[in-house]
Amino acid sequence: MSRRLLQLVIPVTPERRMFRIHDPSVDPDTPGGPLPPVGALISTNREQLWVGSLQEDIDVRLVIEEWDEAPPPCGDAWDEEAKSAIYLRGQLSISMGLAGTAVRGLRLAGGVGDYSVRVYASNRDQVTRRYAQLFDRHRNPLSDEFQQEKKTLEGLERYLVQLWRESLGAAGHQPPDGYGSGGSGPGGGRGPEPGSRRYGPAAGDTAAWSAA
């Protein structure tokens, strides 16, 4: 039976209607990256996975999970699903472009290698429709009423990204100390709570957060 090794729940601010998951050694802003995922849920190359969003002004909720082998499908609970693979050197980062880095150097129990990836999404059209309706009800988007209603949309567009290396489950892999159910990352660090505005470790830090 597959086991979840890590779970991280964070808010993400999409830039140009996307956020980017990549190996920390890769600069997603340099030439040679994937094509923007326009009209698609994801766009990938060897070391980067770009996730398409329908938002630019509203934060979305992202859940990152690492498993020791392929987890059970959960597509029935989500509106959209995509599959891919990405090569990582034992860590991943999540870039929000001009909005900054959501996660820098998150350590993975699977180490260096190719990771299978499933990406799920929900409520994308719903949030887009409700946000457009705000402009119909309020003439001034800077008003308190508009801003209060906008906050209720934060995190409603949701994403789940699951990663695993097939070889780990077959080899009976045990995660390093500090990973696993109910544990915390190296040094006792904890991940940000859902809804928190803390986007990850400080520049140059590495961490692994588990809430399995």
The neighbour count for residue 133, using CB atoms within 10 Å, is: 11
Report pLDDT for 168: 56
DSSP sequence for 114-164 = EEEEEEEEESHHHHHHHHHHHHHH-S-TTSHHHHHHHHTTTTTSEEEEEEE
Q: What is the pLDDT of residues 57-103, one digit of tens each?
A: 899 999 999 999 999 998 788 999 999 999 999 999 999 999 999 99
Domain boundaries, the chain: 4-188
Q: What is the pLDDT of residues 106-161, one digit of tens each?
A: 999 999 999 999 999 999 999 999 999 999 898 888 899 999 999 999 999 999 99
What CATH number has the domain spanning 4-188?
2.60.34.30
Q: What is the separation, in whole angstroms, between the first and last Cα of the chain?
A: 15
Beta strands in the chain (DSSP E): 4-12, 18-22, 42-44, 48-52, 60-67, 80-95, 101-122, 158-164
192 pLDDT higher than 60: no
Is the distance from CB of 186 to CB of 206 less than 8 angstroms?
Answer: yes
pLDDT over 70 percentage in the chain: 78
